[in-house]
Structure 1
Amino acid sequence: MDPLQFLVPFGWLSAVGPALPYAILVMALANLATRHLGHRHHVEQAEEGDAVEQYGPHVFTNFGLALLSFLFAVHAPTSGTILSFLVVTMVIADVFEFEARNVEARNDMTVEAPKSAIVTSGLVLLYASYYSLFFLVEGFWNQAIVA
């Protein structure tokens, strides 16, 4: 009997739990793509005016990645907590980088790439790909550990 079964009635999560790492990997890849498109959008907005707006698809992928990582923390507590920590760090970095883009746009400065958010999203992608694609290197990994 699971001690959380009465507090968190997520019986459906056991059915979709094994697919969550792959969904997280796809969402992390989509997040990197929308991050690139959002930066191009911010550069165009800064050239036209003195403020930038949030890029909708990127906000969606941030929210989706956070939701999936929190669900994964219920399914696989240790790995999900590590991933959730990385995702929350990425979202916080996005907030600060967005404000930095606004300051650059208002002061007619060149709009730089969101470096800290790129690094944290790269870490999210790295961990998500490690967890979901581990079966590709599992044989080699087990041989390296034994030898």
Structure 2
Amino acid sequence: MDPLQFLVPLGWLAAVGPVLPYAILVMTVANLVTRHVAHKQHVEQGADGDSVDAYDPHAFTNIGLLLLSFLFLLHAPVSGTILSILVITMLIADLFELEARNVEARNDMTIESPKSSIVASLVVLVFAAYYALFFLVSGVWNQYVIA
């Protein structure tokens, strides 16, 4: 018996659960791509005006990644908790980096790349790739596990 079965109906999650790591990996790669495009847009906006706006496709991938990590939390509680913490950290870094880009635009400074957001995204990518693509290294990994 699942302890959450009375709180949240989890029957549908059994069908979707095995696909979640792959969806998270795809969303993480899409997030990195939209982060790159958003930075290009911020550089253009910073040169033209006094502020930069959030890039809507990047906001969509951020929210999608957050929702997928919360779904993954229900499917695999320990790995989902780790992933959710990493994604929330990435979102907080994104908020601070957007504000830093606004300060740079208002003060006519050069728009720098969002370094902390990139690092946080890469950490999420590494964890998502590890969890989704573990079958590629499971043979080698299991040889070195001491029982």
Instruction: Tell me the residue number matched to 1:26.
Output: 26
Give how far 1:10 is off.
2.8
- Cα distance in 1, alignment partners of residues 25 and 105 from structure 2: 32
One-letter code of the match for 1:77? P
Tell me the residue number matched to 2:126.
126
**Deviation of the 1:144 alpha carbon:** 2.1
Residue aligning to 2:52? 52
Cα distance, 1:6 vs. partner? 1.0
d(CA) in 1 for partners of 2:145 and 2:11? 36
Partner of 2:140: 140
Q: What TM-score do you get using the length of structure 1 for normalisation?
A: 0.98
Residue 14 (structure 1) shift? 1.1
Q: Distance in 1 between matches of 2:11 and 2:144?
A: 37
Tell me the CA shift for residue 145 of structure 1: 2.2
Partner of residue 115, structure 2: 115
Could you list the per-position Cα deviations for residues 48-101 of structure 1 after superposition, in whole angstroms to 9, with x for gaps in the alignment? 111100000000000000000000001000000000000000000000000000
Show the counterpart of 1:9: 9
1:87 aligned onto 2:87 = yes
Structure 1 partner of 2:75: 75
What's the % identity of the aligned pairs? 71
Paired residues, number: 147
Where does structure 1 differ by over 3 angstroms across 4 or more consecutive aligned residues? none
SS of residue paired to 2:145: helix
Report the AA paired with residue 25 of structure 1.
L
Match of 1:42 in 2: 42
